[in-house]
Structure 1
Amino acid sequence: MEIINSSKEQNCGIIGKFKSKVMETIKTTKKIGDDDPRRIIHSIKVGLALTLVSLFYYFRPLYDGFGQAGMWAVLTVVVVFEYTVGGTLSKSINRGCATLIAGALGVGAEHLAGLCGEKGEPIVLGLLVIILATVSTFTRFIPNVKRRYDYGVLIFILTFSLVAVSGYRVNDILQLAHQRLSTILLGGATCIIISISVCPVWAGQDLHNLIAGHIEKLAAFLEGFGDEFFSSHGNEISTVPSKDYKDKSFLQGYKSVQNSKTTEESLVASEFQLKIQPLFIKMSRESGKSLKELSSSIKNMKFPSSAVETHAKNSKAAGDELNIILENSSLPTNADVHEIMPLLVVASVLIDIIKCVEKISSSVNELSQKARFKKTKSTAAIEKQQQLLHREIMKPVDDINVDGDDHRDLRDAKAFTGEEE
């Protein structure tokens, strides 16, 4: 009875584990589909492409024209069809060019080997395969070739070897090369047409969202960095962080952009810390807010709002004030150097970050103009005010009426524009 009960428990345990695995797989599949529904569409597109190229086998006229070489179209779809349109185009071009060159060289190698007689033909073919395969494999280690043409070189080795070796037993080598090249081109063309015409996925759009997401994560990190840095030393000032800053998820977001972690274990002098702590927090928060505005601008494809410039000015003002404090502070003693050194390092990094944020802001402004982003109401209003002000300043004045108050108005306008009398 005990043996029977133990076997039942084992069966129940196995069934329970199987059910949990099935449920976990279903949840994972659902999550992947919810995160990016385009993945489901891509899977359907691959199935559709495979069905279309399978017609080379289903219909007799097509099969008679291509024969067993029709399988190359199926293999082409499997290995060429990528998630993005650019990836599909790149692989298709690589495969087509590599097949064309390797097929031509294979036919030439077969013709050259045939001139050496029946006994010398396999020897010559073997030598040519060894030489070309060795040279091609070595070129895959070249960085530029590996980055762009690695797949093409691999297909070149495969196609040349198949054409050269199989041509030894095939009477019409030209027909074999023609069939394989034709089916590969048809398979690649099918992939390209379906990839472009049916819900295309462009890598540029993903890059657009990826950059905006990274800037947003860096912004969240900078907004919470000041409070996190000083709270880790057990010294907190009167400023109370909001709920967003109490949440430590922004630290994980920063790690996803740059896998680095700085651990500060030294304590700083309390008097010196109280002077610069508010400036540290202001610099990091204002820089973070500025980056958030820029990230929102990139995501929504709108011109950056005036808040970006405001936050940038606030962070720069805090940085200038910090420089003044550091210049006017007395030199630390040898005992205090090790205590304040981490803080000085962070101050230097924050000042550099402010400069980087300014560069990012100018780059986003340039992108907004060249990509013709939508202008927000605040941006349009500011531009309109600037145009009206420019018109008022540059308004022509009669030489006859330039006296008294009119002359003072003209001098004020020149002084405003920086012109000298």
Structure 2
Amino acid sequence: MEMVAAAATKDAKRNGGTPEWRVTVPEGASVTVEHERCLAARAWGWLVSCVVALGAKVSGSGKRLWKIGADDPRRAVHGLKVGLALSLVSVFYYTRPLYEGVGGNAMWAIMTVVVVFEYTVGGCVYKGFNRAAATVSAGAIALGVHWVAVHAGGELEPFIRSGSVFLLASIATFSRFIPTVKARFDYGVTIFILTYSLVAVSGYRVEALLVMAQSRVCTIAIGIFMCLAVCVLVCPVWAGQELHRLTARNMDKLAGAVEACVKDYFADQPADGKQPPSDKAEGYKCVLNSKASEDSQANLARWEPAHGRFGFRHPYEQYKSVGAAMRHCAYCVEALSGCARSEIQAPHHIKQRLAGGCASVAARCALALREASSSVAAMKTSWALDLAVAEMNTAVQELQSDLRSLPSKLVEEESPAAVLDAVQLFTVTSLLIEVSTRIESVVDAVDTLASLAGFRSSDVEKDEASETETKVKQPAASDPDSYEPEKKHIEQV
């Protein structure tokens, strides 16, 4: 208190003799109140930030989901189809008469729908057939082994069952390394091992093994039938059509990539010397990354029934050949794209000497690819494709002539060192010529596909249409007005 009074006296002297009193608050209480306020503010801030972050995450997820559905509405329809199939097959479990008819194995039908239902009809048929064949064959063999084991005696029965499981499981597993079995029956082999092991092992404790096997086969057949019915009858997605559209779409993207890469290379370089690739120039990547999808769809399309223009023996394997030819072309386009993005470029005035010829060849190459794409998409052949290839070859010959004469012109007009500066230009031109050669391979593969698949000629269809119009315009033989001029002539005679 004396110290407080002394401080008050000093303040009074400074302020002209008027004393001022101060109240000292304990430091601990002030710190506690401020600390609690800071904690409360931090808690509210953390809660608000969590709510905002959660809202942004939900909004972003919703936008992504909406984009996935908007890009291909069939994906959303596929989800509804799976729900419909499960709802229909669940009736066998909820309805007592149906449940008693199939026994306690009604749940196997629901499990079958879950594992068999696929996005495409070919995938559904593939899994359905493999599951049915594997279940029936494994059940039949298991029943045969069960009969042998039972008649062999109680002592040998466990050894016969275990030995059969070991032998068949080993052989079936090894068969999955065979390429043909791996591509077409891999799922069936897995189900065979599972079914045989369950039936063979359970037969040691279950007396009514034949009744159990029959009920399971019936429920699995019900599940497969429901899957096929819903998949085929409700907005079907055919693997053959998906492969067909993918091939045509990749040709269009490859055509755009050829044009865009040449355009980017001969465009004015930015100040930093780096040319960013355009969106179309990246189209070749879709061609390079589509091999797995093409192989999968071609394998699944074999299982599909005939639909539309796709018959039972439609040459789906040829689509893989067309895709391989496009990938060989895409490798050169990738090299072109690398030259366009390279930091070291040929002088702009040297580039312009071959800019016109390269642009002409790129345009003709893109035209040939687009004509091939139209031919595949419409499943028709036309003389326009042959004409586009002829024009491409003519442009390539002109570019080759310009390329041969360019070194001598550079030496005469500029200097021998200019030839070294134009090395990259020679590389780009050579790559473009190679692209045209590989496009001819693509066209040849498309022609083979058209021959095997029986593409109709668009020229024949035009002739048929013109003949139909002519017949419509001609008067009918039963029309009495059509003979009016002849009647007048006869009367005059």
Residue of 339, 353, 356 corresponding to 1:278: 356
For 1:217 and 1:228, how far apart are their aligned partners in 2? 16
Is the 2:139–2:195 contact (alpha carbons within 8 Å) kept by the matching residues of 1?
Answer: yes
Task: Kindly indicate whether residue 105 of structure 2 is the aligned counterpart of residue 69 of structure 1.
Answer: yes
Structure 1 CA distance, aligned partners of 2:156 and 2:263?
A: 80
Tell me how far 1:108 sits from its aligned partner: 2.0
Measured after TM superposition, the shift of residue 351 of structure 1 is: 2.3
Letter in 1 for 2:436: I
Q: Displacement, 1:250?
A: 0.6
Which deviates more from structure 2 when the two are superposed, residues 168-177 or residues 21-30?
A: 21-30
Whether contact under 8 Å (2:361, 2:396) holds in the other structure is yes
> Which is further off, 197-206 or 340-349?
340-349
Change in CA separation of 1:357 and 1:116 when aligned onto 2, cut-off 3 Å: same
Is residue 161 of structure 1 aligned with residue 197 of structure 2? Answer: yes
Task: Tell me the SS of whatever aligns to 1:118.
Answer: coil
What is the aligned partner in structure 2 of residue 287 from structure 1? 365
Distance (Å, rounded) in 2 between the aligned partners of 1:179 and 1:339:
80
- TM-score, normalised to structure 1, is 0.77
8 A contact 1:224–1:285 mirrored in 2: no
Residue 456 of structure 2 aligns with an amino acid whose one-letter code is R
Correspondence 1:371 to 2:371? no
What SS class does the counterpart of residue 199 from structure 1 fall into? coil
Shift of 1:54: 1.3
Paired residue secondary structure (2:156): helix
- SS state at 1:115 partner: helix
Structure 1 residues 24-77: Cα deviation after superposition (integer angstroms, max 9, x where no partner): 222222212211122222222211211221122112222122222111111111
Identity %: 38
Deviation per residue, 1:222-278 (Å, 9 max, x gap): 11222212348789xxxxxxxxx9981112222222266433345447786443332
Q: Residue 133 in 1 paired to residue 211 in 2?
A: no
Contact 1:49 1:191 in 2 (8 A): yes
**In the alignment, is residue 85 of structure 1 matched against residue 121 of structure 2?**
yes
- The match for 1:4 is 40
User: Is the CA contact 1:82–1:88 (under 8 Å) kept in the aligned structure 2?
Assistant: yes
Q: Report whether the alignment pairs 1:321 with 2:398.
A: yes
Distance 1:180 1:219 in 2: 54
SS of alignment partner, residue 154 of structure 2: helix
Query: 1:203 — aligned with what?
Result: 239
Cross-structure match for 1:190:
226
CA RMSD of superposed structures (Å)? 3.4
Match of 2:456, SS state, is coil
State yes or no: 1:27 paired with 2:105: no
Residues 186 and 374 of structure 1: is their aligned pair in 2 closer, same or farther, counting only changes over 3 Å?
Answer: farther
Cα deviation code 1:83-113 (max 9, x no counterpart): 1111111111100000011111211222232
- 1:353 matched to which residue of 2? 435
Deviates more, 1:159-168 or 1:46-55: 46-55
Instruction: Encode CA deviations 1:208-232: one digit per residue, 9 max, x unaligned.
Output: 2211211111111111222212348
Rounded Cα–Cα distance in structure 2 between residues aligned with 1:171 and 1:337: 90
In the alignment, the residues of structure 2 paired with residue 213 and residue 136 of structure 1 have an alpha-carbon distance, to the nearest angstrom, of: 39
> Is residue 213–residue 295 contact of structure 1 (8 Å, CA) maintained in 2?
yes
1:21–1:272 CA distance, 2 compared to 1 (3 A): closer
Deviation of 1:158 (Å): 0.7
5+ unaligned residues in a row in structure 2: which ranges? 1-36, 290-330, 468-493
In the alignment, the residues of structure 2 paired with residue 10 and residue 51 of structure 1 have an alpha-carbon distance, to the nearest angstrom, of 44
For 2:87 and 2:375, the matched residues in 1 are separated by 43
In 1, distance between residues paired with 2:268 and 2:148? Answer: 76
TM-score (norm 2): 0.67
- The letter of the residue matching 1:204 is G
* AA of the residue aligned to 2:89: V
In the alignment, structure 1 segments of 5+ residues that lack a partner are 236-244, 385-421
Partners of 1:182 and 1:250 lie apart in 2 by 53
